[in-house]
Structure 1
Amino acid sequence: MGKTVAASEQLHIVMIPWFAYGHILPYFELSNKLAEKGHKITLVVPNKVKLDLEPKIRHPSLISLHAFTVPHIEPLPPGTETCSDVPIELQHHLAVAMDRARPEVESIISAIDDPKPDLLFYDNAYWVPEIATKLGMKSVFYQIACALSITRIKQTPSASASASASAKLFTLPKWVLTPKVLGDARANYGEGITYYQRVKKALSSCDAIALRTCREIEGESSDILAAQYNKPVFLTGPVLPEVEFLPPLDNSWAEWLAKFGPKSVVLCCFGSQYVPDKAQLQEMALALEDTGLPFLMSVKPPTECATIEEALPEGFSERVKERGVVHGGWVQQLQILAHPSVGCFICHCGYGSMWEGLLSDNQLVLLPQLPDQLMMAQMLAEKLKVGVMVDREEDDGWVSRKNLCQAVKSVMDPHSEFAALLKNNHANFRDKLLTNGFMANYLEVFDQDLKRFLTAN
């Protein structure tokens, strides 16, 4: 028999996200949204993350941050706390650090009694349900990325590209199934546990599943997960930061973008994990040069280069200096997408970037790098028909200068019927997402779902 929860009752929810800002920030944004409904939220995060997030809390009387120390794991550099601190090939060591932090995390949760938490939200920390059971709480696996990708977790990795009920529309090419991209399915992601085992255990052990999506995009995947795991599945909607709460665009970028006409600039961003090799970066940079359009490319320097400048093709910076920038650091993606000079977004289809692209009014060129990103790109290109996916080599995923340039030109040609079709489809879908009350309704239903879930259980 579950607890009695009145419609107006405050819940206390503890959240333990994976040590990556792509996970932490969606959890943080959901915290702000749930606090707006009067719920108390406790986020359990690494020390430096606490310092970073504290100034951004919108409801300090309802949201608290509890910091813990991430254990040092060789060969990670001292002070490593999030995936942003290390290259992708070292991030499996962070999973070891997360698991070894369990005693401190459990101690923090056990000590919270003002009031005692009702729910524990988590993702990669597959051991959270054991803590929840011990403390008399309920656990919710909160997936902040593509729901379709976890419908395949029950299968072996080698079979993940084969036909399944959740993937009739989707096929994965050879390049995305290579160890270079997918990783070694047998390799540990933690101590004595692979990534697939980790996620499968996290899904199998929870009391409920929550997804950062909406039925209009992933309704089928939501239903499949509910059937696969015989658990309730709740949807939060996209849960993106609201522009009014973001800092304004830096003057340097605002002044540079103001040099160009409306909807003329191409923004190309690859997120915090993807690091191209020098040859691939040069090929993509040359493709942007060939478009003849102004562009801003944000990408991490190749591992073999100390700076982004030394990775660029010879003479490139001089040729494009009036209209092109390749930036080796982070940029204010959401604010740049909203600038009137930007007209095209080359998106890697990381889940947050995918939503930001959909909610912008820019043409979308899709260049995914990881399996879940590819699934979302296929959804946008083949099902919703709101963007174009860049053709690439089947075996190794090489992105050619010609193909990337052609993809950008195909959506930026003002006389193209294809470009007009994509633009119209995108505008219609964007209008639906931005309809007054659309996102608020998802959060309201999610709020009621959580209360009913606690009452029933």
Structure 2
Amino acid sequence: MVETTTIVMYPAPSIGHIISMVELAKLVIQHKISITILLTTGFLDHPSIDSYINRISTSHPSISFLRFPSVTVTHSNTHSLAATAFQFIKTNAVNVQSLLRQITAKTVINAFIIDLFCTSAMEIASAIGIPVYYFFTSGAAVLSLYSYFPEIHTQTTASFKDMAGVQIHAPGNAALNATLMPDPVLDRGDPAYWEMLYFCEHLSMAKGIVVNTFCELEDVAVKAVEDGACFPDLKRTPPSVYCIGPLIADAQQSDEARHIKDCLSWLDKQPSRSVVFLCFGSRGSFTVTQLKEIAEGLERSEHRFLWVVKRPIQDQLGVKQVHDTTNDFELGSVLPNGFIERTKERGLVVKSWAPQVEVLSHESVGGFVSHCGWNSVLEGVVAGVPMIAWPLYAEQHVNKNVMVEDMKVAVGVEQREGDRFVSGEEVEKRVRELMESERGSEIREKSLKFKDMARDALGEFGSSTKALANLVQTLNGINH
């Protein structure tokens, strides 16, 4: 009897991480491999996840989903949301073990590909002889920083949030102000810090790391990971690194098909490369005070714009993301009086959502103000659109550094110390710099070069195509 084989994948909860892992699965199944994706239940669940999974199951029968039984965790206000999320994933370890054993009773698992945040599942899989790979959903610079994080941890006993002015140096990265380190590691008093340390210590123990980037985009950071420069005290060969990107996720279906029509038909009427597109990811949001500054900056810049505005957050220090994006709000009430009317000839403001991939690839879009989430960065690169980098949370400040200092595809906004507020004058200045200045022209040229490189990387003989072929060969070769 021929043994059947499968690859099991385990994304972190939340639609963004699930979509990224599914995109990887779609690449792998092209090589006649079946995939089983494990999903948690009970935290960061959203109706959009179920409809998305149904859509994928129908269109890609080689990808099957197994849901864990529901697990309840209580979020404590004394801990970060990340700490609660990590606790929730850890609580699911017993479900991981049970399902892996069920699957191995029927088929051979060639590999277990996990999200960084699902590291608690690594020892379970290793104990039953299943090789573990990471799928790293951010870029190589963040991977290098995280791999080096156990070393940075030993260099201080203070929390990064209290180390204003101190520069963090990691292989493959430009220097980063300590207070701009990724959110979950800012505070040693938060359990998330210690969980992140545990995750990062295990990166070097994986059989391989699959990264959503391409070698030409982050050559210095990729080399730091491949050579093992970012793994402190590594006694063995560093894990194999597979740069298989840019993986651009399918857009989530919006309930508002008219949004797509409105945005694209409005763009059709604008001159080539004249519109600045402002969009801050699925969760990026601002206070009403900040929204009004953005509006004033856009108005004074006199440039055309398409701006996606999410439901505003309360004036709370340091909070830059909204988790409930479903509640409706009135656009007029959160923007300056008469703003929409005064700018209607050259601006369009839409609520909550726009078809980002389609917008970025539209001929009339000439600039992208982004929160520097890695998927958005890649979408900007693939479209060849120069960017204004405005990081909000998570590892986005690291991405901004990469975009501005290394790739040179963006100008960065200056954010006020402490609350990271950005003035209307600053918004106007950066929009004008990107759209009018010589530096803006250089960034535009660089962006177009990377667009070509991204296409080539995914071409028949491209670096990402080769990396994927090597990955599939390794996955197929295991346990045979």
Same amino acid, percent of matched pairs: 23
In the alignment, structure 1 residue 137 sits paired with structure 2 residue 144: no
Q: How many residues align?
A: 431
In the alignment, structure 1 residue 186 sits paired with structure 2 residue 189: yes
Q: Distance in 1 between matches of 2:263 and 2:365?
A: 12
Look up the match of 1:408.
431
Look up the match of 1:172.
176
Q: 1:439 to 1:433 in 2, by over 3 A?
A: farther
Look up the match of 2:148.
152
Deviation at 1:444, TM superposition (A): 3.7
Deviation at 1:345, TM superposition (A): 0.7
Q: Distance in 1 between matches of 2:70 and 2:303?
A: 45
Q: Deviations over 1:97-149 (max 9, x none)?
A: 22222222322222114532111111211121122123221111221103322
Look up the match of 1:427.
448
Q: Distance in 1 between matches of 2:252 and 2:395?
A: 29
Q: 1:166 to 1:285 in 2, by over 3 A?
A: same
Q: Is contact 1:368–1:374 with CA below 8 Å preserved after alignment? A: yes
In the alignment, structure 1 residue 269 sits paired with structure 2 residue 276: no
SS in 1 for 2:411: strand
The AA in structure 1 aligned to 2:444 is K
Q: Distance in 1 between matches of 2:336 and 2:342?
A: 10
Q: Distance in 2 between matches of 1:239 and 1:119?
A: 22
The AA in structure 1 aligned to 2:39 is V
* More deviation, 397-406/253-262: 253-262
Q: Distance in 2 between matches of 1:437 and 1:385?
A: 24
Q: Is contact 2:388–2:413 with CA below 8 Å preserved after alignment? A: yes
* More deviation, 350-359/324-333: 324-333
Q: Is contact 1:213–1:235 with CA below 8 Å preserved after alignment? A: no
In the alignment, structure 1 residue 448 sits paired with structure 2 residue 470: yes
Q: 1:110 to 1:243 in 2, by over 3 A?
A: closer
Structure 1 residue corresponding to 2:459, chosen from 430, 433, 437 = 437
Matches within 5 A, 1:360-399: 360-370=383-393, 372-399=395-422
Q: Distance in 1 between matches of 2:440 and 2:411?
A: 9
Look up the match of 2:242.
235
In the alignment, structure 1 residue 66 sits paired with structure 2 residue 66: yes
Q: Distance in 2 between matches of 1:337 and 1:421?
A: 19
SS in 1 for 2:428: helix
The AA in structure 1 aligned to 2:37 is L
SS in 2 for 1:313: coil
Q: Is contact 2:270–2:364 with CA below 8 Å preserved after alignment? A: yes
SS in 1 for 2:118: coil
Q: 1:330 to 1:198 in 2, by over 3 A?
A: farther
Q: Distance in 2 between matches of 1:182 and 1:378?
A: 18
Deviation at 1:359, TM superposition (A): 0.9
Look up the match of 2:322.
none
Q: 1:119 to 1:178 in 2, by over 3 A?
A: closer
Deviation at 1:174, TM superposition (A): 6.3
Deviation at 1:63, TM superposition (A): 1.2
**Residue segments in structure 1 that go unaligned for 5+ positions in a row:** 1-8, 77-87
Q: 1:296 to 1:355 in 2, by over 3 A?
A: same
Deviation at 1:243, TM superposition (A): 7.4
Q: 1:206 to 1:347 in 2, by over 3 A?
A: same
- Alpha carbon RMSD of aligned pairs, Å? 3.3
Deviation at 1:271, TM superposition (A): 1.2
Structure 2 residue corresponding to 1:33, chosen from 13, 23, 27 = 27
The AA in structure 1 aligned to 2:454 is L
* More deviation, 363-372/123-132: 363-372
Q: Distance in 1 between matches of 2:217 and 2:207?
A: 24
Look up the match of 2:382.
359
Look up the match of 2:85.
94
Q: Distance in 2 between matches of 1:63 and 1:454?
A: 17
Q: 1:42 to 1:440 in 2, by over 3 A?
A: farther
Look up the match of 2:118.
125
Look up the match of 2:319.
none
In the alignment, structure 1 residue 324 sits paired with structure 2 residue 334: no
Q: Is contact 1:141–1:202 with CA below 8 Å preserved after alignment? A: no
SS in 2 for 1:217: coil
**Residue segments in structure 2 that go unaligned for 5+ positions in a row:** 42-46, 154-158, 316-326
Q: 1:175 to 1:153 in 2, by over 3 A?
A: closer
Q: Is contact 2:215–2:463 with CA below 8 Å preserved after alignment? A: no
The AA in structure 2 aligned to 1:102 is A
Q: Deviations over 1:236-294 (max 9, x none)?
A: 32242477999998222223323322222211111133332232222122212222223
Look up the match of 1:6.
none
Q: Deviations over 1:340-370 (max 9, x none)?
A: 2222111121110000001113232111224
Q: 1:359 to 1:52 in 2, by over 3 A?
A: same
Deviation at 1:204, TM superposition (A): 4.7
Moved >6 Å (runs of 4+): 242-249
SS in 1 for 2:168: coil
Q: Is contact 2:210–2:244 with CA below 8 Å preserved after alignment? A: no
Q: Is contact 2:9–2:113 with CA below 8 Å preserved after alignment? A: yes
Q: Is contact 2:246–2:378 with CA below 8 Å preserved after alignment? A: no
Q: 1:255 to 1:145 in 2, by over 3 A?
A: same
SS in 1 for 2:73: coil
Q: 1:208 to 1:237 in 2, by over 3 A?
A: closer
* More deviation, 194-203/239-248: 239-248
* More deviation, 280-289/309-318: 309-318
Q: TM-score, normalised by structure 2?
A: 0.79
Q: Distance in 2 between matches of 1:333 and 1:39?
A: 31
Q: Deviations over 1:356-415 (max 9, x none)?
A: 0011132321112246322222222222322222233345432121122111112212xx
Look up the match of 1:55.
55
Look up the match of 1:350.
373
Q: Distance in 2 between matches of 1:205 and 1:70?
A: 30
Deviation at 1:92, TM superposition (A): 3.1
Q: Is contact 1:209–1:232 with CA below 8 Å preserved after alignment? A: yes
Q: Is contact 2:147–2:201 with CA below 8 Å preserved after alignment? A: no
